[in-house]
Structure 1
């Protein structure tokens, strides 16, 4: 089973939090993950609903995605940084 991890700026994309996610996965016997870069266009849906979108951030760079994937590999998680 592949776990899809949305990378939210200053939340799930920090080293500390991604390590905690990977540790949880490992403890549950899960070893396959996809890292999903932040998509700033999601805010448009809030506008359509006439709601305020407070999350700010930019998509993770290719280098940052690879760094996060490498953290997973260090912990025994096969983490794909290409969204697959």
Structure 2
């Protein structure tokens, strides 16, 4: 069983095997070999999950509407304090 980690945005929408493999590769810095060992899967399966997950993320980002305005230091001051 793998440890569940909260993931924001598009990453959270990926199927669990892709999400886990992408998160370990991109945020954990794990190699394919280490991810395969950690997830108890074949290295080729991990490579496919990462490839497919990154493809889905790219498609999701491409389809997402662009922000109405960039966030700058000045505009950030007008955002509500989340503390």
- Indicate the structure with greater helix content: 2
Question: More relative contact order in 1 or in 2 (CA 8 Å, sep 6+)?
Answer: 1
TM over 0.5: same fold? no
The two structures have a TM-score, normalised by structure 2, of 0.28
TM-score, normalised to structure 1, is 0.28
Question: Which structure has the larger Rg?
Answer: 2
